[in-house]
Amino acid sequence: GDSVTQMEGPVTLSEEAFLTINCTYTATGYPSLFWYVQYPGEGLQLLLKATKADDKGSNKGFEATYRKETTSFHLEKGSVQVSDSAVYFCALSDQGNTGKLIFGQGTTLQVKP
């Protein structure tokens, strides 16, 4: 079945450091890929998405490129801020599943001043 694997956390960085969170997926069809962010005590917010191969999603300085050849959707940001501290979830939505999201296990990011 479909699945998503994320790098394990927590990831601890200093402010202004470069961020990469790895995400790979397995899917039978042509999925759409998403990154959601969850701040402490809150629900999930869409960070960015890509709906076909080679698409790049971007938002708030975060980027991720849909790589079909490596089945990956790694999240990157050039310079993190303390306010980026949160849990990041990679997810996919596959055809025929009425939009059901399958999530990776989440990666906790801590950014220190």
Partner 1 sequence: DAMVIQNPRYQVTQFGKPVTLSCSQTLNHNVMYWYQQKSSQAPKLLFHYYDKDFNNEADTPDNFQSRRPNTSFCFLDIRSPGLGDAAMYLCATSSTGGVADTQYFGPGTRLTVL
100 touches partner 1 by CB under 8 A: yes
Total Cβ atoms within 10 A of residue 96: 7
The span of 11-19, 64-72, 76-84, 98-106 binding partner 1 (CB under 8 A) equals 98-106
45 touches partner 1 by CB under 8 A: yes
Distance between CA atoms of residues 103 and 89, nearest Å: 6
Count of chain residues binding partner 1 (CB under 8 A): 27
42 touches partner 1 by CB under 8 A: yes
Query: Site map for partner 1, 54-83, x if CB under 8 A?
Result: ------------------------------
> Residues 6 or more apart from 66 whose CB is under 8 A from it?
33, 50, 51, 52, 53, 54, 55, 56, 57, 73
